[in-house]
Amino acid sequence: MLRVTIHHVSGLEGCWAVLRMGHRRGPSDLRRFHTSASAGSSLIPQADDFAERHIGPRSHDQEKMLSMLGFKSLDELTDAAVPENIRLGRDLEVDQPLGEHAVIERIRYISEKNEIWRSYIGMGYHNCRVPHSILRNIFENPGWTTQYTPYQPEVAQGRLESLLNYQTLVTDLTGLPVANASLLDEGTAAAEAVALAFRQNKRRKVYLSDKLHPQTLAVVQTRAIPLGLEVLIGNIADIDFSNRDACAVLFQYPDTEGTITDFSEIIQNAQTNGTMVVCATDLLALTILQPPGEMGIDVAVGTSQRLGVPLGYGGPHAGFFACKSPLVRLMPGRMIGVTRDANGKESYRLALQTREQHIRRDKATSNICTAQALLANMSAMFAVYHGPHGLRNIANRIHNAAIILKRGLEDAGHIVENQFFFDTMKVNATLATSEIRMRAQQKEINLRYFRDETVGIALDETVEKQDLDDLFWVFNCRNTTTDKVTKHLGEQALPPEHLSNTQFKRTSKFLTHPIFNTHHSETQLVRYMKILENKDVSLVHSMIPLYLQLFRVSPRAPAP
């Protein structure tokens, strides 16, 4: 079973990056990639038409453009446009060009060196099952991938509706009233939340929980430097907010080690003293876990990767950002709103754009203009396809698997340090970490290894019975199998440790809109996606304004 998505290379820049990687190998390994494109093979110039097909303008087109500009050649244009003092002064050290087929062969040759292991590292990254209807009809569909930000609502009603679905997904699961249409990733979203808090109260101290994901800590610390903020990392239960000098406190729920903590007292103390509370969280966990909005959180951030987006060796994935209504004009990113057109018909458009960089420049709420609209649309369709019951079933299945794993490890003498958890646990094993690492390598399993010699395990949607048995073997749980643990737990649908039997259970409904309760068959979903696609103008129809260059120059061949 494939557990990790092999990364793909998109765009001409990506192709050349892969080609340069392969250049390190010996000439005998790569001879077949060079024979058709070598300098001396002018009789069979297979690579000559690749650039023309990819970029577009033919030689006669270039001649017309040069003539219009008053130049005879590209070299003459370059001499006039590029100052002498900034030119490289030598030829680029690149390989001979390749034809399209040779490029694909080279990419395939390099990708075959990847080792596909099961990954249970966690830290915000979880494998998932991407519905093939979404993969084919959105992720691999130029009708969805070529457009950029929908500044022209007249030709973007389909994307706008899908992104509004994404915002609804985020607001319903987080329990907060407002969300944007995605950000770059979870770390960036957390940094934006801190920047928002600073804009609101002008305080220069930020408290970060030491149980945040490491990459989130790193991004927030980096972003704090130009803002002149003092970042303090530690156990947030020990913070004294009475000094009223902190703009924000940020924690993970569940935390990076998997533990679910009652933050109610911390939230109350912080807000009483004017400190904004930011929570990084897991959308799938929130289908069965009390949402941050019901706890009084001001801002919730995270990633929607595990909702139908492949791991992709760490990205890209859509980050989400939700907040309370009074903060909406300080919130970064694009927001989709509902309005009415000139004929009184309900329609969609970008809302509150005066916050954004294209209008306010350096005074915008954020100068990181990158969103992840395509991947946000994938997560939105994942939620449309599964609906509230389907998402809850996925979450319960993962949570039950984690409970079985915890029981089996404890029965074998290992100590699981988490009392309340969703899918991730920290194990203090009776085995040496080096032995666990060796046994995991034999099973081709990636785990998280902490400096204190404990081991982290984060389960996901793809975990089956055999995977749990393999994990028991990795931890040398003799005579322990999934069947035995399940039998010991009984045939209850919800084991005693299940979150539904704790104070953290979710009781509120979510995704009640008809759009999330209608399209649950592949036929219905494909029709819905096609209806939205047909409302938009993309590069499959004509040239479009304000498009993203990466997608504009992406040839079909290297795409997934």
Counted domains in the chain: 2
How much is the pLDDT for 493?
62
- Judge whether 123 and 213 are in contact, CB under 8 Å: yes
Asked if residue 484 and residue 425 are part of one domain, the reply reads yes
Residues near 8 by Cβ (< 8 Å), separated by ≥ 6?
Answer: 558, 559, 560
| pLDDT band at residue 354 using 50, 70 and 90 as cut-offs | low
Asked whether the beta carbons of 308 and 378 are under 8 A apart, the reply is yes
Q: Is the dihedral of CA 342, 346, 348, 354 positive or negative?
A: positive
Q: Flag whether pLDDT at 496 surpasses 90.
A: no
Amino acid letter, 104: I
- Give the chain's mean pLDDT: 87
Q: Give pLDDT tens digits for 411-451.
A: 999 999 999 999 999 999 999 999 999 999 999 999 999 99
Q: Which residues contact 552 (CB under 8 A, 6 or more apart)?
A: 146, 539
Residue 529 phi/psi, 5-degree rounding, is -60, -40
Q: How far apart are the first and last CA of the chain?
A: 19
Statement to judge: residues 299 and 338 lie in one domain? yes
Q: What is the mean pLDDT of residues 205-219?
A: 98
Nearest to 34 by CA among 23, 18, 21: 23
Beta-sheet pairing, 205-209 with 230-234? parallel
Q: How far is CA 186 from the centre of its chain?
A: 7
Q: Tell me which amino acid residue 354 is.
A: T
Write the CB contacts of 43 (distance below 8 Å, at least 6 apart in sequence): none
> What is the pLDDT at residue 552?
43
> Long-range CB contacts (< 8 A, 24+ apart) of 169-173?
169/283, 169/304, 169/307, 169/379, 169/380, 169/383, 169/511, 169/516, 170/283, 170/304, 170/320, 170/321, 170/322, 171/322, 172/510, 172/511, 172/512, 173/283, 173/286, 173/287, 173/291, 173/510, 173/511
pLDDT digits (tens, 9 = 90+) for 228-257: 999 999 999 999 999 999 999 999 999 999
The strand ranges marked E within 452-536 are: 455-458
- 410 shares its domain with 462: yes
| CATH (domain of 234) | 3.40.640.10
Do residues 203 and 290 share a domain?
yes
Q: Does 297 fall in a domain? A: yes
Supply the range of the domain harboring residue 485.
Answer: 384-501
* CATH code assigned at 490: 3.90.1150.10
**Based on the domain organization, do 404 and 473 belong to the same domain?**
yes
424 bridge partner residues: 458
More confident residue, 511 or 491: 511
Same domain assignment for residues 180 and 281: yes
| Residue 249 and residue 180 share a domain | yes
